[in-house]
């Protein structure tokens, strides 16, 4: 990286400075927000999975009900 025209040496070296040296640890408020975001995401995922399971269970129950009715009709018609 060449020094730009009219750029001071301090600006040149500041531009070359690695960004990780400026890292600051997260504040307690930022940590709390991250924890809340993870908790909300976990609850949303649990709700999605639970709803999906309930839907599948309802479909299975409807299928069982249809099969039992068909079986009963077949039994009556054989009679």
Given a cut of 70, whether residue 2 has pLDDT beyond it is: no
Number of domains in the chain: 1
Other CB atoms within 10 A of residue 74 CB: 10
Given a cut of 90, whether residue 76 has pLDDT beyond it is: no
Instruction: In whole angstroms, give the CA distance from residue 42 to residue 77.
Output: 52
38 token code pair = 């993870």
35, part of any domain: yes
Compare 9 and 4 and report the one with higher pLDDT: 9
13, part of any domain: no
pTM over 0.75, yes/no: no
13-68 pLDDT tens trace: 888 998 898 899 999 999 999 999 999 999 999 999 999 999 999 999 999 999 88
6, part of any domain: no
47, part of any domain: yes
* Residues 1, 16 contacting (CB under 8 angstroms): yes
Give the structural domain span for 46: 28-78
């Amino acid at each position: 990286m060449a020094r730009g025209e009219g750029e001071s040496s301090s600006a040149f070296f500041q531009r070359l400075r690695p960004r990780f040296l400026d890292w600051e640890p997260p504040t307690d408020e930022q940590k709390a927000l991250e924890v809340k975001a993870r908790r909300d995401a976990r609850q949303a995922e649990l709700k999605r999975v639970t709803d999906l399971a309930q839907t599948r269970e309802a479909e299975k129950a409807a299928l069982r009900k249809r099969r039992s009715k068909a079986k009963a009709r077949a039994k009556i018609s054989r009679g």
